[in-house]
Structure 1
């Protein structure tokens, strides 16, 4: 049984003006997401600024999310690291806290070989009993998870069950689904490629756009899965300007700006990320107005 089908939100981590995590606001935006029919909460991923959270904060945010969600939707904890032992530590703690699955980004900066990736993922997955979702985003990590590597991991490691694919390479995704014989839970990691990946056997998206439009993204996926491919395709194409605007600067700069425009008061970003440029904010605001989400 799939961890989830539909649109899971790669949720932001709200901050106070002084840079501390705003746990009260996190509870509010989690409730907004559940009310908006989001299908899963993905906590402490890239969009959640996990790279600038201490290990203690990282785990505190995961625990808070799990407690707030209270099993109403699945919680997938981002516990990846470029250090295998750190990923094992975070994953064990997330399992103990009650997460439903973990999301493991490829090791960044040190750029492991494919052999190294197999060893890394096998060690982390074997340290827990939770389902594992791999996360391939070479534009950020400098490390590509090859289809043959994914196929080997899915074949040999029982609890590696899914992948968030954000390579942007549709041919690579097709090869991945061919080599795994479709026996993997495929989630788009790019909001502008949801329908193309659904057409290759995908079952959903782990979405940045869902932070500002959870029901829209949920409906787009569900239309496709329910057989309304034309309706889903129209929603995908209509959302392209918003997708582009939310990635015109490094994620999560634009999405936090968008949520603050919506009055959600998710606060600033942690350095070295900076606030969105005024001209880009103006463009984003106009697109959100056009879509009726502002």
Structure 2
């Protein structure tokens, strides 16, 4: 169902911290124009942890509306409360989303049995396709391959976004699940390796600013043209690393503002704006010809700051 480049979309905000729906509409159009394969709305990069429940729902609904059915929308519906996740999922059942992205419960530190029962309970309360999301550095709990394999037998659990950084997980899961079960990388720096080992896609932070590049890289990987995919990956490798110079989505919002995709780089507390030190590092990178070569193409000239390119 989902292959290639999937963007973990930022949630643009005004200076006062309110969601900027005008910028959100522009971003959705940008990704449609750039051939992005799908959009994750209100995931980690979309600041799901600090949006109110009302905002969370509204951003997803607006993203679906702005997409005009031209691109699939995956809704971030995860919570450390099973029943809160069920409530949001049920609310979105007739919204037009294509699937839900459900993170391993954070802070609670459940056992593998608790993680299994959490996802089973959610899946049993909806017909919407569910994508598991494992990011132990953020959640404090690791969804192990043996638990993923058990969960894959539940009919509407269709895949996993694996962001542990452990590439051995690809084979450890792929060998024991249905061929249709999706393996999606959640780490830009290892995404191509992940796909070369048998993964289907990447949910990418970097795709916020270079969607066409990520699309091309993934498309080459799907066609097993790894030499061409590797060439692009080498070109964007430094940028991928810089996206995590501070907590995501601080750097990606800073660059998105710098190149004119959004009006402000506002993030919600407890996150704060990019530090002066990292501001200098990113500014230095942006002045390099390689970055201008990566970012600019004829398709995106109407979306970027003219003074930038």
Give the structure-2-normalised TM-score: 0.91
List per-residue Cα deviations over 1:154-187 (Å, max 9, x = no partner).
12x1000111110001123321222326442111
Aligned match of 1:44: 42
1:180 aligned onto 2:188: no
Consecutive unaligned residues of structure 1, counting only runs of 5 or more, are none
The answer as to whether partners of 1:246 and 1:284 remain within 8 angstroms in 2 is no
In the TM superposition, what is the alpha-carbon distance from 1:203 to its structure 2 partner?
1.2
User: Secondary structure in 2 aligned to 1:17?
Assistant: coil
User: How far, CA to CA, are the matches of 2:230 and 2:98 in structure 1?
Assistant: 30
User: How far, CA to CA, are the matches of 2:173 and 2:215 in structure 1?
Assistant: 25
User: How far, CA to CA, are the matches of 2:275 and 2:50 in structure 1?
Assistant: 21
Aligned match of 2:76: 78
In the TM superposition, what is the alpha-carbon distance from 1:280 to its structure 2 partner?
1.6
Aligned match of 1:140: 138
User: How far, CA to CA, are the matches of 1:227 and 1:159 in structure 2?
Assistant: 28
User: Secondary structure in 1 aligned to 2:15?
Assistant: coil
The answer as to whether partners of 2:170 and 2:198 remain within 8 angstroms in 1 is no
The answer as to whether partners of 2:170 and 2:199 remain within 8 angstroms in 1 is no
List per-residue Cα deviations over 1:99-128 (Å, max 9, x = no partner).
110000000010111101111001111111
What is the correspondence of 1:191-210 to structure 2 with a 5 Å cutoff?
Answer: 191-210=188-207
Aligned match of 1:66: 64
The answer as to whether partners of 1:253 and 1:269 remain within 8 angstroms in 2 is yes
Consecutive unaligned residues of structure 2, counting only runs of 5 or more, are 296-307
User: How far, CA to CA, are the matches of 1:44 and 1:120 in structure 2?
Assistant: 20
Aligned match of 1:262: 259
Give the structure-1-normalised TM-score: 0.96
User: How far, CA to CA, are the matches of 2:280 and 2:177 in structure 1?
Assistant: 44
User: How far, CA to CA, are the matches of 1:35 and 1:49 in structure 2?
Assistant: 24
Tell me the matched-pair count: 291
List per-residue Cα deviations over 1:44-92 (Å, max 9, x = no partner).
0000001001101100001100111021011000000000000001111
Q: How large is the RMSD of aligned CA atoms in angstroms?
A: 1.3
What is the correspondence of 1:132-171 to structure 2 with a 5 Å cutoff?
Answer: 132-155=130-153, 157-171=154-168
Query: Out of 231, 234, 248, which is 1:234 matched to?
Result: 231
User: How far, CA to CA, are the matches of 2:280 and 2:24 in structure 1?
Assistant: 26
The answer as to whether partners of 2:64 and 2:96 remain within 8 angstroms in 1 is yes
Aligned match of 1:291: 291
